Amino acid sequence: MAGKVISLKTTQEWEEQLQMGKEPQKLVVIDFSATWCGPCRLMSPVLDELAGQHPQVTFLKVDVDDLRSVAQQWGVEAMPTFVVMKEGKVVERFSGADKDKLIQLVTKHLNQ
């Protein structure tokens, strides 16, 4: 699945991906979004492009309507919300369709 955005549909898939994200030097970018969210649709191609450029990074997409419990557990109140994790720990989080910020954060944490 390297080089692609992984759309999660079940809490089991979510838990499995979080567990794999704890590996040493592993970078995970989570996109909390919704199909009805215009700004989310704008960011989707950006996420796809980043996934293609950085196959060593795991890019996850969580539809807040499909996985409400996960979105609530993570305190997602606006979409899109992006969470960047390194070795299983949250290192960055922001809401909004900010392409440049997302690219900057991925690059920053890849190089650390």
Which of 8, 34, 40, 76 is catalytic? The answer is 40
DSSP string, 37-90: -HHHHHHHHHHHHHHHH-TTSEEEEEETTTSHHHHHHTT--SSSEEEEEETTEE
Which of 37, 62, 84, 102 is catalytic? The answer is 37
Q: How far apart are CA 29 and CA 31, in angstroms?
A: 7
Establish whether 37 is a catalytic residue: yes
Instruction: Indicate which residues carry an active-site annotation.
Output: 37, 40
